[in-house]
Amino acid sequence: MPQHFDFLVIGSGIAGLSYATKLAIHFEETGQPVRIAVITKVRADETNTKYAQGGIAAVWAVEDSFEKHIEDTMIAGDFLSKREVVEIVVREAPERIRELIDYGTRFDKEDDGDYDLAREGGHSDHRILHFKDITGAEIERALLEKTQSLPAIQVFTHYYAVDLITRHHLGETVHRYDTDNRCFGAYVLNTHTGQVEMFLAKTTLLATGGIGNVYQSTTNPTIATGDGIAMAYRAKSICKDMEFIQFHPTALYEPGKKPSFLISEAVRGFGGILKTIKGETFMENYDDRLSLAPRDIVARAIDSEMKKSGDPHVYLDVTHCDFEKFVEHFPNITAYCRDNLGIDIRKDYIPVVPAQHYLCGGIKVNEFGQTNINFLYAAGECSCTGLHGANRLASNSLLEAVVFGHRAYLKTVENFNEASIPDNLPEWNDAGTTHPEELVLVTEMQRELESIMSNYVGIVRTNRRMKRAMDRLELIYLEHEELYRQSKVSNRICELRNMIEVAYLIIKAAMARHDNRGLHFNQDIEKETA
Ligand code: FAD
Ligand code: SIN
């Protein structure tokens, strides 16, 4: 039997929870009873949001200005960001952060009671609000507690969205650029029972986060498999800027560990200096902003140094920093390095390497989070608002998610009365499928996919590498489609299907780009223009 909701929110990170919270508060105030379902594929707090370290950017200090934050975002994005969107996000930031504080989020303060503002790469001023080095966990905690206090919201944990329900399911032919496609909710695998249920909703928000697991090494938790992007693409949404994959310059070097533990950029903002294994600085050869240059530049510089020397990592040196203050600001990083690698940051350098961290592109949305499919919204990392352009400025992601969660909420409320659900939508049909006997195929295909993406579509690309990636991917795609058609759905099979689709979108976008901008660096283009 289908379950009926007014709103379906797929994802319980900052984007999904802030949107659901706002809707619940709004309808509580107007006295109109509504049902809001928030579904999450594992535990509610297992999100990219929970792992965010550095913080959330906003103009807060009197000496800072919106203009400076706007310019920093444009420069980091290599001027491919949409200026109107940058202006919206930067100007709305303080208000959205005040709301997070009202919902119970704590940010660190100075002794005089003012917020302690950190600085990160690409920022011309101190403007990062943070809670020690576990800002995301604090935001996630506060938002989850807030949602639990709102009776309109029902959180379904271990529910996996398989596909969106659209006009296609009414037997109609839908094309990608049609303007009358429409979303009615999603088919959702209840992993407690193994059954696919129909979650019908007048409005659906995709807030499914990142794609990190398409790559061999990533800072993203295992949930980040690009499900929302793949579901939206299959439903004929438009995806944009998929070639712009951000590699964080400083993931802790622990070979074979997935996800990689992040050494926050705020550590470089605090004075940390990048050095080669020989202990020599090198950033002066790449950028005047040294270790605090935007991420694309720092990650490429590290990659180039590692290639030149053949070393498996570089170092981050914090031995000159005030130890007590460092521990106060970065207790989690200090403890992790000590407990897992025996590093005493007072005298040892921290070994670091770049790792996939963030997708700047995603499902194309307008300035209210609306996709090209009616009543389907997207917010957070799975969406492409135009804020990040070719490279995201540090700590602008949590901010984008909360600003667009709010803007999607405004439009959802405005359009609410127009929404309705037809009564002839079909239930999930898995007749003729069986549980696959061997999941080793899935494991192997996943391994191959990660290897292709890391080796051929990573920090430095070439035409030949990208073509090879596309050719190899096609074989995996065909193999997996056959398996998918025969199998009862499971998280693993669906996740791999989605990752293959996301990889396809990344490679296609990378091959279509004929200039080197921000995070996209093709050596062949560099040679042609040299
Ligand atoms: P997420 O928080 O990732 O939430 C995704 C949700 O979608 C999860 O609940 C998941 O279960 C659910 N989901 C996914 N697929 C399905 C499915 N098929 N069915 C059901 N549910 C599904 N950004 C900053 O601005 N500042 C920082 O300091 C910062 N530090 C970071 C540090 C790390 C280690 C990482 C990984 C990221 C960091 N980022 C930072 C980026 C930022 O954390 C993320 O971009 C942001 O939290 C994404 O939020 P979201 O709500 O879009 O998605
Ligand atoms: C970090 O703390 O370095 C991550 C910040 C971000 O991804 O914005």
Q: Is residue 80 part of a domain?
A: no
Q: How many domains does the chain have?
A: 3
Element (DSSP H or E) covering residue 357: strand 350-359
pLDDT computed for residue 272 by the predictor: 97
Residue 39 sits in a domain whose CATH number is 3.50.50.60
Which pLDDT score is estimated for 498? 98
Residue 226 lies in a domain: yes
Residues 345-352: what's their mean pLDDT? 98
Secondary structure element (H or E) that encloses residue 482, with its range: helix 463-486
Read off the pLDDT of each residue in 406-419 and give the average, rounded to a whole number. 94
Alpha-carbon torsion, ordered 478, 479, 480, 483, to 10 deg: 120
End residue of a domain, out of 329, 355, 381: 355
Say how many Å lie between the CA of residue 12 and the centre of ligand 1. 9
Residues 145 and 234 both lie in one domain: yes
Instruction: Tell me the two tokens of residue 90.
Output: 């930067």
- Over residues 223-240, the pLDDT tens digits come to 999 999 999 999 999 999
Which residues form the catalytic set?
A: 295
> Encoding tokens for residue 201?
């909703």
Q: 390 is in which domain, residue-wise? A: 3-53+133-243+360-418
Ligand 1: atom nearest CA of 12 is 9
What pLDDT, on the 0 to 100 scale, is given for residue 529?
82
Q: For the domain that residue 477 is a member of, what is the CATH number?
A: 1.20.58.100
Mean per-residue pLDDT, 397-424: 95
pLDDT band for position 206 (cuts 50, 70, 90): very high
Is 172 a domain residue?
A: yes
Give me the pLDDT at residue 177, please: 87
pLDDT digits (tens, 9 = 90+) for 285-339: 999 999 999 889 999 999 999 999 999 999 999 999 999 999 999 999 999 999 9
Residue 109 has pLDDT above 80, yes or no: yes
506 and 392 in a common domain: no
Atom of ligand 1 lying closest to residue 228 CA: 15
235 shares a domain with 138: yes
pLDDT of residue 31: 97
Residue 142 lies in a domain: yes
Looking at residue 285, the DSSP 8-state letter turns out to be G
- Among 264, 295, 336, name the best residue to mutate to test ligand 2's pocket (greatest count of ligand atoms within 8 A of Cβ): 264
Mean pLDDT, rounded, for 270-298: 95
Question: What pLDDT digit, counting tens, does each position of 15-46 carry?
Answer: 999 999 999 999 999 999 999 999 999 999 99
Residue among 108, 246, 265 whose CB has most ligand 2 atoms within 8 A, to mutate: 265
Judge if 270 and 343 occupy the same domain: yes
Q: Is the pLDDT of residue 419 over 80?
A: no
Other CB atoms within a 10 A radius of the CB of residue 164 amount to 25
Percent of the chain whose pLDDT exceeds 90: 94
Residue 349 sits in the same domain as residue 364: no
Q: Is the CB of 58 inside a 6 Å radius of any atom of ligand 2?
A: no
How high is the pLDDT of residue 420?
84
Residue at a domain's end among 355, 378, 396: 355
Which ligand has its closest atom nearest to the C-alpha of 394?
Answer: 2
The reply to whether 412 and 450 lie within a common domain is: no
Q: Are residues 49 and 146 in the same domain?
A: yes
163: tokens are 């596909």
- Mean pLDDT for 395-403 is 98
Residues 184, 299: one domain? Answer: no
State whether 385 and 462 are in the same domain.
no
In a domain, 474, yes or no: yes
Place of tokens 């498999």: 225
Phi, psi of 469 (to 5 degrees): -60, -45
Q: Is 87 part of any domain? A: no
The distance of Cα 509 from the centroid of its chain, to the nearest Å, equals 18
- Residue with the smallest CA separation from ligand 1 atom 39 is 52
Point out the ligand 2 atom lying closest to the alpha carbon of residue 394: 8
Tally of CB atoms within 10 A around 124: 14
Q: Domain containing 272 — which CATH number?
A: 3.90.700.10
Whether residue 507 sits in one domain with residue 481: yes
Q: Is the pTM of this model over 0.95?
A: yes
pLDDT for 418: 83
**pLDDT at residue 530 is higher than 80:** no
Ligand 1 atom with minimal separation from the 17 CA: 51
Q: Is 116 a member of any domain?
A: no
Is 277's pLDDT higher than 90? yes
The average confidence (pLDDT) of the chain is 96
In a domain, 94, yes or no: no
> Of all protein residues, whose CA lies closest to atom 21 belonging to ligand 1?
40
Instruction: Classify the C-alpha dihedral 448-340-130-19 as positive or negative.
Output: positive
Q: Give me the pLDDT at residue 447, please.
A: 97
What integer pLDDT is reported at residue 118 of this predicted model? Answer: 94
pLDDT for position 1: 83
393 and 351, same structural domain? no
Q: Evaluate if residue 200 carries a pLDDT over 80.
A: yes
- CB of 487 closer than 6 A to ligand 2? no
Whether 49 is in the pocket of ligand 1, judged by its Cβ within 6 Å, is yes
Please check whether residues 414 and 304 belong to one and the same domain: no
> Model confidence over 47-67: pLDDT tens digits?
999 999 999 999 999 999 999
CB 390 within 8 A of CB 519: yes
Q: How many whole angstroms from 210 Cα to the centroid of ligand 1? A: 6
